[in-house]
Amino acid sequence: MDTTLSLISPAKLNLFLHINGQRPNGYHELQTIFQMLDRGDTLHFNLSESDQITIEPNFKDIPLKSNLIYQAVVLLQQTISYKEKKPRKPGVHIQLDKHLPMGGGVGGGSSNAATTLLALNQLWQLQLSLEELALLGAKLGADVPFFVLGKNAIASGIGEQLSEINSETNKFLVVSPQIHSSTQEMFQIWDEWHEQNMLQLSAEDENPFLQIFLQKHPEVRAIFKELAVDEPFKLSGTGSTIFCRVKNDESIKKTLKKIPTKWRHFFCEPLQCSPLLTYLT
């Protein structure tokens, strides 16, 4: 039996995002397009003879039990105990090579959780189907089922209702102001603004969080306006990552000169499906 496994944990972009309302339980009804990218983190899994869950590095701002990777492991341990009708907690050591911005709206945490579910399903020989893993993933976050199933999709409901679509064909320029944007906080602000009719959205607005994010971060707003002169930049998710399609390599050169040196940026290609599916299904 294999005891080690290293997997890519891919990023995504929200090509648009609409909020259609709020459920009585507080969850928001939305519609979005998820596009998979060829950039991501890498996770290395090593089975342990003990029942311990260890994750490196240890992020100071994220308590271990709040880490979605940890939560994914615990959820599978609970699933094993339920299916086998006896407590069993196999251990694992996970090394995370973090490349995606945290709190950046490109799905890093959700993708890490989904990759963990897929990897341990194989290493622990659980034989759960993708559909079963997606249902488990929904308990961790609305984006996790998308990363488990691994195909570009229009998402509705709270993000769990997925309809597969074809990939984009243009590559993307992805820009990260290196600001941690809290999804929970951004939705709270949206609730307040929506209730007070403060959201002045036009038919062309493709993400209501762009207005909120730029209002919250004036230092980004000024640069965003400069970048948008040449290219139609958008916000992914609740931020902080902004992106544009690259249709002409020459025209993008002017844009690159306007990006502050302290901001991260990279070019990436769209994927039709997650690289995980080629050897985990």
| Catalytic annotation, residues | 12, 143
CB 240, CB 179: distance < 8 Å: yes
Question: Cis (ω within 30 of 0) for the bond into 260?
Answer: no
Strand-pair category, 53-56 with 91-97: parallel
Report the candidate in 198, 201, 275, 184 with the shortest Cα–Cα distance to residue 237.
184
CA distance 116 to 275: 14
Under 8 Å CB-to-CB from 174, ≥6 apart: which residues? 13, 37, 39, 106, 236, 241, 242, 243, 265, 266, 267, 268
CB 64, CB 73: distance < 8 Å: no
Provide the sign of the torsion angle of the four alpha carbons 129, 165, 100, 208, taken in this order: negative
